[in-house]
Structure 1
Amino acid sequence: MKSIGFTTSIPVEIVYAAGFKPVDLNNIFITNKNAIRFIEEAESEGFPRNTCSWIKGIYSAVLDSKDIDAVVSVVEGDCSNARALSEVLNLKGIKCIPFSYPNSKGYDALKSEMEKLCNAFGTNFEQAQEIKDQLDSIRKRLIYVDELTWKYNKVSGFENHIWQVSSSDFDSNYRVFAEKLEEEIATMEKREARSEKVRLGYIGVPPINSDLYELVETMGARIVYNEVQRQFTMSDGIEIDDLVEVYRNFTYPYDLYGRIRDIKNEIEKREIDGIIHYTQAFCFRGIEDIVIRKELKMPILTLEGDRPGNLDSRSKLRIESFIDMLV
């Protein structure tokens, strides 16, 4: 079975419908025990030091893997470096298939992009819809995991993060993913409710630093909302039969104000005390912090990460001070 890598969340139903294995390259990179090596290898091949570490990590992860047959590169709606990444991968003999989330968010434009993806993989919307029906049953259970986090207080911020972020590709096998998820839910349900005083929301791309969630919980707080990770589950599209509309409702690739509306709703629902806004070094999304701070009328801590590994001492101190302020 062919493995299809991708640079950010795509209509994964299409890949599964074609009989291929979807692989979120971000997850392959960041879960590697020596992820920093991927960064160094990319830089040794000429990637600039002031380029996003996720791009460099994805590049090296593709070359390191012997299983990736092609890469779907999201050239509009995500990282501004994705197009150049595709060109370098092409140079290495890796087939890259461009995919765009049109900035206009227009129905016909997005449908055209999804049709191109179907044609590239030899499938169609009808087959993809059948896969969606199966994935939606898993997505409903991910909603429950989210509720176990913010409503029933039985799930850690990291567990919430990891299960939701993994739904971008369902660990390349949605049936096995579903089985593991049910086993984990059975364990989660038996726990006593947690009692952290401070409830935090996390917005922005998933963190490159592995210890953020655990650190927060050692300080008497817990992250009960992961914005982009929740969007990766496509849980807001479960009741939508039109696959194009599902991915028009996906807030991450489009304008910031759609994200802000979603964030405001979740802040109110989850009774969040403060927000951690994570930005990646050298990413254009860091500029969005200006708008976010104006639109969200609540305490916000902006953290910038660069390379894989633990948070630096300064960031840890800033987090501690932020939580102390909210107590």
Structure 2
Amino acid sequence: MTKNKIGFTSTFPIEVVYAAGQIPVDLNNIFVTGNARKYIENAEYAGYPRNICSWIKGMYDVVLSSDIKTVIGVVEGDCSNTHSLMATLKDKGIKVVPFSFPFEKNRPELEREIFKLEKVFKVDHSVVIQTKERLDKIRKKLVLLDEITYKENRVTGSENHLWLVNSSDFNGDPDDFEARLDKFLLEVQKRKLIDFDFRFAFLGVPPIISNLYDFLLENNVNVVFNEIQRQFSMPFLEESIFDQYLRYTYPYSIFDRIEDIQIELKKRKINAVISYAQSFCHRQIDNILLKKYIDLPILTIEGDQPGELDARTKLRIESFLDMLRM
């Protein structure tokens, strides 16, 4: 069987694609680790507006610059711009497959969406369940990595971020991902403890800013809770695939996120919070409620173009840290 790359715009039940013998590819990861500015430039040259989220523009050109011929778009539970992204990709001859997380977090509706996806990829549900069991073995090891991050202080926020964010598709090769993860976990046990002053939480979508975690660590801050990245790793290890994607907080209400966040802030003994927002994203509005219901110092950082921290944001972070030290 020929293994085809199946692009996707946001985390969804990747078990279905793997069960079908295909390779799921998180377009966000390809965009941000590749020639990100060129992808954006090409999308804008094709007509995408300047004031549209960089991730949407980046994913558009990632697909057209690759051998990906099918894209699964999360059209409910993520960015509303995905609708137009899918339309413009379809116009270029790309097969588009919609997937929706029900707004009301309704189990029967989610079951229908997953069964519909199985029908598209011509795969039996029993094989999907077997695939989930295989991937859950890796997810258990990611839970361990996350625990080492906040319990033992042997993993940096950047490392935690990269491992968890890449679990959205296991880099297209779960066996290789697991082998490298095993090696990393062994290496970590031989490390000295990381020395830092503050335990931070990072809330919101993964940052488009490449050196944020490194800059924080240089200033004696380690991020020991990456909220959405942790959600990508499906840490709850539910037996049912339906329950697994119902407990995944990102596509549902902000109140589902806040409930999970509050538990983790207490468990991880967090000192302060960075709330990250992407320019032109509706999730910036969620900051109103995050600030209302989280009783910790919060610094909001906004990212637009891919690249390193600008001087203004560095100064804001340093001023925030000065305030915490007072």
- TM-score interval, normalised by the smaller of the two chains: over 0.9
After superposition, what is the alpha-carbon deviation per residue over 1:50-70, rounded to whole angstroms, capped at 9, x for unaligned? 00000000001011112x130
Q: The residue matched to 2:222 in structure 1 has which SS?
A: strand
> Could you tell me which residue of structure 2 aligns to residue 82 of structure 1?
82
Contact 1:231-1:252 within 8 A present in 2 as well: yes
Contact 1:52-1:281 within 8 A present in 2 as well: yes
> Could you tell me which residue of structure 1 aligns to residue 217 of structure 2?
217
The answer on 1:13 being equivalent to 2:15 is yes
Hey, what's the Cα distance between the residues in 2 that align with 1:92 and 1:105?
A: 33
TM-superposed CA distance for 1:124, in Å, is 2.5
TM-superposed CA distance for 1:218, in Å, is 0.5
Alignment counterpart, residue 260 of structure 1, candidates 247, 258, 261: 258
> Could you tell me which residue of structure 2 aligns to residue 27 of structure 1?
29
Contact 1:115-1:124 within 8 A present in 2 as well: no
TM-superposed CA distance for 1:148, in Å, is 1.4
> Could you tell me which residue of structure 1 aligns to residue 53 of structure 2?
52
Q: The residue matched to 2:141 in structure 1 has which SS?
A: helix
Note the 1:189-268 alignment, pairs <5 A.
189-236=189-236, 238=237, 240-268=238-266
TM-score normalized by structure 2?
Answer: 0.98
Hey, what's the Cα distance between the residues in 1 that align with 2:69 and 2:48?
A: 23
Q: Which amino acid aligns with 2:302?
A: E
Contact 1:17-1:131 within 8 A present in 2 as well: yes
TM-score normalized by structure 1?
Answer: 0.98
Hey, what's the Cα distance between the residues in 2 that align with 1:249 and 1:155?
A: 26
TM-superposed CA distance for 1:189, in Å, is 1.1
> Could you tell me which residue of structure 1 aligns to residue 291 of structure 2?
293
Hey, what's the Cα distance between the residues in 1 that align with 2:52 and 2:75?
A: 16
Q: Percent identity?
A: 48
TM-superposed CA distance for 1:20, in Å, is 0.4
Note the 1:150-165 alignment, pairs <5 A.
150-165=150-165
TM-superposed CA distance for 1:138, in Å, is 0.5
Alignment counterpart, residue 312 of structure 1, candidates 310, 314, 321: 310
Q: The residue matched to 2:131 in structure 1 has which SS?
A: helix
Q: Which amino acid aligns with 1:178?
A: E
Q: Which amino acid aligns with 2:184?
A: E
The answer on 1:38 being equivalent to 2:36 is no
Hey, what's the Cα distance between the residues in 1 that align with 2:197 and 2:239?
A: 40
Q: The residue matched to 1:56 in structure 2 has which SS?
A: helix
Which deviates more, 247-256 or 314-323? Answer: 314-323
Contact 1:277-1:301 within 8 A present in 2 as well: yes
Aligned length: 323
Q: Which amino acid aligns with 2:259?
A: R
Structure 2: any 5+ residue segments left out of the alignment?
Answer: none
Structure 1: any 5+ residue segments left out of the alignment?
Answer: none
Hey, what's the Cα distance between the residues in 2 that align with 1:192 and 1:227?
A: 25
Contact 1:101-1:253 within 8 A present in 2 as well: yes
After superposition, what is the alpha-carbon deviation per residue over 1:64-86, rounded to whole angstroms, capped at 9, x for unaligned? 112x1300000000011001000
Q: The residue matched to 1:235 in structure 2 has which SS?
A: coil
Note the 1:121-160 alignment, pairs <5 A.
121-160=121-160
Q: The residue matched to 1:22 in structure 2 has which SS?
A: strand
